Amino acid sequence: MILSVHAVFGAAVASMVPNHPVAGFALGFVSHFVLDAIPHKDYNLISVEPDINMKPRLIDTIYKKFRLVRDITLVSFDALFGLALAFMFFFNYEHPWVFMIGALGSLLPDFLTFLYIFIRHKPLSLFCDFHVSLIHSKIILKLNQTMGIFVQFCTLAVLIAIMFFIERLLV
């Protein structure tokens, strides 16, 4: 799932336990894996795609840096957009940081995976194998980028509606 969807859902689940910030962070963190297990279509990160025909020339080095800057910009915009949506929908004056705690917990797994791509540290490797190989859905929806993002937000809306319906039943 894209980061915006993770951030909003993490804020939503954390808002269910506003008096327990550690539980809110943990629920946000776990919510990431729940969302990633659902079949979806992500946007492409071009800086991590293999360079099959790249020869070490100056133009290739510049292009590699451009691809990395493009990906970091896209990922940053996605995360900030998600945090803004999480703030709009789940900010609570009594517990003003709850939405942020859940949202950050939900973003952490992708941050650690993205970090592993660049530093290749062994403990991150174990986490990345768990996250990507074991949890992440192997079914990739055959949609264009725009439709893939739209479907993810529809999935988010349905999950939040179910979550609030169950919460109302329990109260």
Q: Which amino acid is at 37?
A: A
Q: What is the DSSP string of 117-147?
A: HHH--HHHHHHHIIIIIIIS-S-B----HHH
Number of domains the chain contains = 1
- Residue 51 confidence (pLDDT): 54
Specify the pTM. Answer: 0.88
- Given this model, what pLDDT does residue 4 score? 97
What pLDDT is attached to residue 90?
A: 95
Provide the domain limits for residue 165.
3-170
Task: Express each pLDDT in 40-88 by its tens digit.
Answer: 988 888 876 655 555 556 666 777 788 889 989 999 999 999 999 999 9
Across 124-152, average pLDDT: 90
List pLDDT tens digits, range 82-110: 999 999 999 999 999 999 999 999 999 99
What region, left, alpha or beta, does residue 30 occupy, with left being phi > 0 and alpha being psi -120 to 50 degrees? alpha
Q: In this structure, are residues 94 and 18 in contact, taking their beta carbons and an 8 Å threshold?
A: yes
Sequence letter at residue 72? I
